[in-house]
Every structure is written in C-alpha cells, then in structure tokens.
C-alpha cells in the first residue's frame, strides 16, 4: 500500500532536505499551473475576435506541453512521483468550469494527467542517465 503522508519527524537530515526541495518545487509548479490555467484564459477573455479558437489552441497546444514539462521537471529534480501530474490535473478542472462553460472539457484533465505521467517517466529516465554518468 502506498503511503500518501510522510512522517517528517522520522526522516533523517538528507531526506528532510530532499522533502523540502520537493515541496518547494511543487509550490512553484502549482503556481505556474494557476497562472496557466486561470491567468491566460482571464487575459484572453478581453479578446474580441477568435476567442474560441484561442481557447482550443490553449487546450491543445499550450496546456499539453505545459503538463508534460511540469512532469518532466518534477521527475528530473525530485525523482518520480505521482503528485505533480495529479495536482496539475486537479487544478485544471475548476478552470474549465469557470472559463469555458463546458463540463465535457473536463475530460481533458485525464489527458493532462497522462501527459504529466509521461513527463515524469521521461524525467526519471533522464535523471537516471545523469546519475549514472556522474558515477562512471
């Protein structure tokens, strides 16, 4: 069974440092996700022409690359973890309800979750390659 909570007091000093760095990175990635999912659509609501095309461009191009990159960066810095893609996908759902008025678009959250997990896998591979090169 996977434990979701970490008993911080039982960690040794190096693990505490790694845990703090992971939380700091998660806060940065979460802040970037809030800007991407809430700030961009809010800014684009003032566009008069092409609002729908712009929204679909955001969802298909920008958000997919963003979700993959957040998973990649998280895994590269902190190792593989499922928290980053899950948080990114959860942050997307209220943005759809607020800005797009189409509940069916919440299914994109699953795509973003999968892309985040793929980013985590590739980031993990790159982290392993760099660790192996360091110790050769």
Residue 98 belongs to a domain: yes
Residue 5 belongs to a domain: no
Residue 9 belongs to a domain: no
Per-residue pLDDT tens digits of the chain, which is 136 residues long = 444 566 667 778 877 788 788 888 888 988 999 998 888 888 887 777 777 777 777 778 888 899 999 999 998 888 888 888 888 889 988 888 888 777 888 888 899 899 999 999 999 999 888 877 777 6
SS3 readout for 86-126: HHHHHHHHHHHHHHHCCHHHHHHHHHHHHHHHHHHHHHHHH
pLDDT at 17 (0 to 100): 82
Residue 3 belongs to a domain: no
Residue 78 belongs to a domain: yes
Domain count, the chain: 1
Residue 6 belongs to a domain: no
Element (H, E) at 31: helix 13-34
Residue 1 belongs to a domain: no
- Residue 51 is part of which domain span? 15-134
Residue 4 belongs to a domain: no
pLDDT at 72 (0 to 100): 92
């Amino acid at each position: 069974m996977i434990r979701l909570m970490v008993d911080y007091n039982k960690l040794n000093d190096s693990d505490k440092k790694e845990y703090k760095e992971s939380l700091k990175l998660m806060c940065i990635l979460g802040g970037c996700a809030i800007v991407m999912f809430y700030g961009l659509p809010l800014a684009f609501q003032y566009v008069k022409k092409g609002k729908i095309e712009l929204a679909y461009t955001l969802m298909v191009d920008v958000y997919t690359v963003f979700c993959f990159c957040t998973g990649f960066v998280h895994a590269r810095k902190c190792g593989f973890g499922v928290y980053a893609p899950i948080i990114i996908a959860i942050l997307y759902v209220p943005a759809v309800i607020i800005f797009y008025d189409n509940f069916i678009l919440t299914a994109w959250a699953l795509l973003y979750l999968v892309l985040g997990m793929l980013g985590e896998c590739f980031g993990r591979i790159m982290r392993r390659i760099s660790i192996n090169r360091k110790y050769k």
